[in-house]
């Protein structure tokens, strides 16, 4: 019989890159949403499509309230993005291997040019954080001038989602490698974390117990969303601390 302490965590279960989001200090200013869209060439879908549930944001601020009008109480804002699950429900359902797990980075990758658009991954994502390119969206001048050259521009019929700014991860790793060292904690961060004026988002290595993100994640009152599904998410939320 295996005793609980004998069970070893696999690489997926510990994760590599992770995030801590403090809902108590999030003001809901949407700076992360704007920064993410610019960093990752996320398109703007326009008012009509956005209102119909076709917005493409890789991170969104969820607002909820309690009670009936006028006795309404806001609950803390909840930034929701891909949780980079260790055991991701989106991955096994893709018939074309467009949604795959990166063993090197412990991230869920979306291979845009392999995606045929069955949208099964999005149905199976319990966090509903995947965005589908319903159309070829117009980017009027001068918007095309601010494309990030490190990130693919997606076309219609393709699924996309938060990558934890994998282009930044790779850049930092390449730089560290050329200097013959490891990537230092806090050396780089994702666009959303960088833009957050309240520092409510912290990004880093969760497999390094010394990193800021691990220390925050193990402070004790953090929760992982829908953990009961066994998805092993890599984003920890703080609320009411």
Partner 1 sequence: MADHKHDAGHAHSEEHFREKHLMLDPLPRGVMNDMVMESMTGKPTWKFWTVVIVLSAIVAYGLVYTWAKMIAEGLGIAGVNRPSYWGIFLVNTVFWIGISHAGTFISAILRVFKAEFRRPFTRAAELMTTFGLVQAGFSVFMHMGRVWLSYWLFPYPNQRMLWPNLHSPLTWDLLAITTYLLSSTMYLFLPLIPDVAMARDRSTGWRKSLYKVLALGFRGTEGEWAHLRNAMNIFAFAIIPVMFSVHTIVSWDFAAATRPGWNSTIFGPYFIVGALHSGMGAAVVVLAVIRSNMKHMDYFIRGEHFDAIGKLMLIISMAWAYFFFNDYMVQWYGGDKWTHQLLHFHEAGPLGWMWFGMLFCNIVVPWAILWNAKWRATPWLVSTVGLIINVGMWFERYIIVPISLTINRMPFTWRMYNPGAEIPLGIGTLALFILLYVLASKVIPLIPVWEVQEGQMAHELKKFGRETVVSVSELE
Closest approach of partner 1 to the CB of residue 166, in Å: 21
Contact positions with partner 1 (CB under 8 A) in 17-76: 49, 52-55, 60, 62-64
Determine if 138 is a binding residue for partner 1 (CB under 8 A): no
Among 75, 102, 128, 199, binds partner 1 (CB under 8 A): 128
Q: How far apart are CA 67 and CA 79, in angstroms?
A: 21
Determine if 80 is a binding residue for partner 1 (CB under 8 A): yes
Determine if 123 is a binding residue for partner 1 (CB under 8 A): yes
- HSE of 240, CA atoms in CB hemisphere, 13 A: 3
Q: How far apart are CA 114 and CA 97, in angstroms?
A: 7
Closest approach of partner 1 to the CB of residue 26, in Å: 14
Token representation of residue 25: 């200090």
Q: Environment class of residue 148 by beta-carbon count within 10 Å: exposed (0-12), middle (13-18) or buried (19+)? A: middle
Report whether 235 contacts 216 (CB < 8 A).
Answer: no
Q: How many residues does the chain have?
A: 241
Closest approach of partner 1 to the CB of residue 101, in Å: 12
Determine if 14 is a binding residue for partner 1 (CB under 8 A): no
Token representation of residue 206: 């969760």
Report the interface residues with partner 1, using CB under 8 A.
49, 52-55, 60, 62-64, 78, 80, 89, 92-97, 114-120, 122-124, 126-128, 131-136, 156-159, 226, 229
């Amino acid at each position: 019989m295996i005793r609980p302490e004998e069970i070893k965590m696999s690489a997926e279960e510990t994760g590599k890159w992770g995030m801590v989001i403090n809902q108590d200090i999030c003001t809901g200013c949407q700076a992360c949403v704007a920064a993410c869209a610019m960093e990752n060439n996320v398109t703007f879908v326009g008012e009509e499509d956005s209102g119909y549930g076709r917005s493409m944001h890789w991170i969104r601020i969820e607002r909820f309230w309690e009670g009936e009008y006028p006795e309404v109480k806001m609950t803390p804002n909840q930034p929701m993005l891909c949780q980079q699950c260790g055991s991701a429900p989106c991955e096994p359902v893709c018939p074309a291997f467009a949604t795959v797990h990166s063993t090197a980075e412990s991230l869920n990758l979306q291979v845009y040019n392999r995606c045929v658009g069955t949208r099964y991954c999005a149905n199976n994502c319990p966090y509903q954080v995947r965005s589908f390119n319903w159309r070829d969206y117009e980017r009027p001048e001068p918007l095309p001038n601010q494309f990030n050259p490190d990130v693919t521009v997606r076309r219609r019929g393709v699924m996309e989602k938060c990558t934890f700014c994998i282009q930044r991860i790779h850049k930092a790793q390449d730089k560290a490698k050329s200097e013959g060292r490891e990537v230092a904690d806090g050396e780089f961060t994702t666009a959303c974390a960088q833009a957050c004026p309240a520092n409510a988002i912290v990004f880093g290595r969760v497999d390094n117990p010394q990193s800021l993100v691990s220390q925050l994640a193990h402070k004790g009152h953090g929760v992982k969303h829908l953990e009961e599904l066994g998805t092993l998410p890599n984003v920890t939320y703080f609320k009411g601390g």
